[in-house]
Amino acid sequence: MESKSAYIIGHITVKDAEKWAEYCRRVPDTVAPWGASLVFRGCNAQVLAGEHRYTDTVVIRFPDRSAVDAWHESAAYRELIPIRQQAADVVIVSYEE
């Protein structure tokens, strides 16, 4: 059975731009060992339906769900969580294809 790609989508509202920049600069090194790649990072242009209170979104592709789980539980990423919490209000959701 072929593994399905998995994605994380982060919905973000930045509270501290300097800390957020540090977090964003450091995250790529934490996802690289898991074969992940940035798909999209951008600011909200327009809400077309419903409510969406976040201003920014990021999408990262992983080879499979186990890679998402391993990355999220990794020491390298766990070290960044306090910076993320100080820098922004964030909701991270994972999806599988």
- Could you report the per-residue pLDDT of 54-77, keeping only the tens digit for each? 999 999 999 999 999 999 999 999
Sheet holding 37-43, edge to edge: 37-43, 56-62, 6-14, 88-96
Percent of the chain past pLDDT 70, that is, above it, reads 98
In a domain, 82, yes or no: yes
| CATH code of the domain containing 30 | 3.30.70.100
In a domain, 16, yes or no: yes
pLDDT at residue 19, as a whole number: 97
Report residue 20 as tokens: 């957020």
In a domain, 1, yes or no: no
In a domain, 87, yes or no: yes
Domain that holds residue 40: 6-96
In a domain, 11, yes or no: yes
Q: What total number of domains does the chain contain?
A: 1
